[in-house]
A and B are shown apart, each in its own frame.
Chain A
Amino acid sequence: MSATQPKMELPREEKALVAALSSLGEKVKLAFAKPNRIKIFAERNDVVEVSRFIRDNLHFDHCANVTGTDFPKDKQIEITYHFGSIDGEGLRRIILSLACKVPSADARLPSLINEFPSVELHERETAEMLGVVFDGHPNLKRLLLPEDWNDIPPMLKAYRLPGRLEGE
């Protein structure tokens, strides 16, 4: 667990969360912890375990959003889950982000659908927009793109919008 220096004093709940997350040891890396927002990184083999820990021990009960970002310079795609909590005491204002970097050449990630059923459609969308395969997802079919989509996934940086020149 790498320690970051927050600019301002963290509220009590965030401090407790960071302390609880550090009990996982090397499995999570803290990216930042600021009031209301915490972001951690995990390896893709540990994602399921960390998400279970987040659900059971930290009381984050739903996934608000799944997003993916392509970093062509690092040849990596970062998948981020944003978890929220309804029943956790004082946790409603906090969004806990769990990020996982996967190599672009082998963009696979275990699905969190058994831990958080609310990721179903979000993961489907991320899969088609970035070409990431979520192992274990029961229905990774095309969701938003047209049936005859015949190009690389559009949210990859390699995909240029039609009519836009390089560097525009």
Chain B
Amino acid sequence: MPVGATGISTQQVEEDKLVVSIGPQHPGAGHFRFTITVEGDMIVDVLPDPGYVHRGAEKQTEYRNYTQSIPLLERSSLTDVTNIIGPYSLAAEELMGIEIPPRAQYLRMIMSENQRIISHLYWLGIQAIFLGHSTMFMWPLGDRDLLIDLGEMIGGARITYSYWIPGGVRNDIPGNFKERALKTYDYFEKRLVDYERIFFENPLFLKRTQGVGVLKREEAIRFGVVGPVLRASDVKSDTRLDEPYCLYKDVNFEVPVYKECDTWARCMVHLFEMRQSIRIIRQILEKIPSGSVRVKLSPQQRTRPGEAYARVEASRGAMAFHIISDGGTKPYRTKISVPSFRNLIVLKKLLIGSHVADMPAIYWSLDYWPVEADR
């Protein structure tokens, strides 16, 4: 980084160009920093500078056995804890050669979809406050706690349940879960209508998002973006459809696709997906079979030597684990392919040529979560 790398001030590089450092202490960026070069009101260059939350979880897994790594890896994406352990468990199970009972598969799906709504609500709150809509910050963060309560009812902890583990799930759901979950989701669906009325149909929201930050279909594919960003760019791709894991083949759901390719589309994908997640959970609660929820593993479970690459659709996109094992009780090498890191590459693409005022809307529409990206 030639300019603004060490300093925290604004610099004038040419007669009409300014370099502005944004973050890590910034109203928006959080644990992330980028340096933008502005010419008047237009952004002409962007230098992302991640790594403020790089904690070396991949290296640490080499010193822990498969069970000990679960809570460690969970912290890498605290808004999306179930879905980051998902591919890890799938990869570990492939190496251990374990089959998971169907009830555990369904319970995994319940928790995964619940987690998707929780993560999307957090995104919605921050996106709204970036656009200056404080009500939409307060409402989702309040309603999010209801869904966290559901997760807490199953998993025991508030947000770090370590629920989806290699071998199944940690425990069964309590008896009154179905009743309470249905009640919560009924309420929440009514709230989604309110959200639409107050925020998604708000002229302010439409003005600030429509036609802003357009990512064309070809570019989205070429840059390898995932998740809501990809689906907003007119690609009907979802790991739950492309490579069904758990028992997603048995449930009906739709995958949103928008042809607009702009920030508005990326926001609407999130809203659509929350409804679909509720739909999936409703179906599962109707048809979930009884049975065991877990295959008993030894604390020092050995794996076969080899490698496994497993992926699931996390709330931000395809989350994948590549685990190489040498046959021991610990992974030889773990590599986490996180959606946030994959989507970071288009930040530069989208911001160049846009106004400074559009920057918060574009930045957070990517749902870039630096903790997850840096691992």
Whether A associates with B in a native complex is yes
Residue of A whose beta carbon sits closest to that of B6: A147
Residue of B50, B242, B320, B324 touching A144 (CB-CB under 8 A): B50
Interface residues of A toward B: which range?
A: 35 or more
A1 at interface by CB-CB < 8 Å: no
**Contact at B63–A145, with CB atoms within 8 Å?**
no
* Residues A118 and B242 in contact in the complex (CB < 8 Å), given A37-B309, A145-B54, A154-B56: no
From A61, A65, A70, A122, residue with most partner B Cβ within 10 Å? A65
* Residues A82 and B337 in contact in the complex (CB < 8 Å), given A65-B320, A67-B322: yes
Residue of A whose beta carbon sits closest to that of B334: A67
Residue of A37, A70, A86, A147 touching B221 (CB-CB under 8 A): A86
Docked Cα-Cα span, A87 to B242, in Å, equals 12
A155 at interface by CB-CB < 8 Å: yes
Within 8 A of A (CB), among B296-338: 307, 309, 311, 318, 320, 322, 324, 332-333, 335, 337
**Contact at A143–B235, with CB atoms within 8 Å?**
no
B371 to chain A, nearest CB (A): 12
Within 8 A of B (CB), among A93-117: 93, 95, 97, 116-117
Q: Produce 1/0 per residue, B1-42, CB < 8 A to A.
A: 100011000000000000000000000000000000000000
Q: Which residues on A sit within 8 Å (CB–CB) of B341?
A: 121-122, 125
* Residues A118 and B322 in contact in the complex (CB < 8 Å), given A145-B54, A155-B58: no
**Contact at A141–B221, with CB atoms within 8 Å?**
no
**Contact at B243–A64, with CB atoms within 8 Å?**
no
A29 to chain B, nearest CB (A): 15
**Contact at B224–A63, with CB atoms within 8 Å?**
yes
Q: Which residues on A sit within 8 Å (CB–CB) of B54?
A: 144-145
B292 at interface by CB-CB < 8 Å: no
* Residues A65 and B337 in contact in the complex (CB < 8 Å), given A86-B237, A118-B223, A154-B59: yes
Q: Which residues on A sit within 8 Å (CB–CB) of B59?
A: 154-155, 159, 161
**Contact at B222–A61, with CB atoms within 8 Å?**
yes
A14 to chain B, nearest CB (A): 13
Docked Cα-Cα span, A121 to B340, in Å, equals 12
**Contact at B224–A64, with CB atoms within 8 Å?**
yes
Docked Cα-Cα span, A67 to B322, in Å, equals 8
A6 at interface by CB-CB < 8 Å: no
Show 19 residue pairs from A and B whose CB-CB distance is below 8 angstroms, ordered by the A residue. Answer: A62-B224, A63-B224, A64-B320, A65-B320, A65-B337, A69-B324, A82-B337, A86-B235, A92-B243, A97-B309, A118-B345, A144-B51, A144-B54, A144-B374, A147-B6, A154-B56, A159-B59, A164-B63, A168-B63
- Chain A interface (Cβ within 8 Å of chain B)? 36-37, 39, 61-65, 67, 69-70, 80, 82, 84, 86-87, 92-93, 95, 97, 116-118, 120-122, 125, 141-147, 154-155, 159, 161, 164, 168
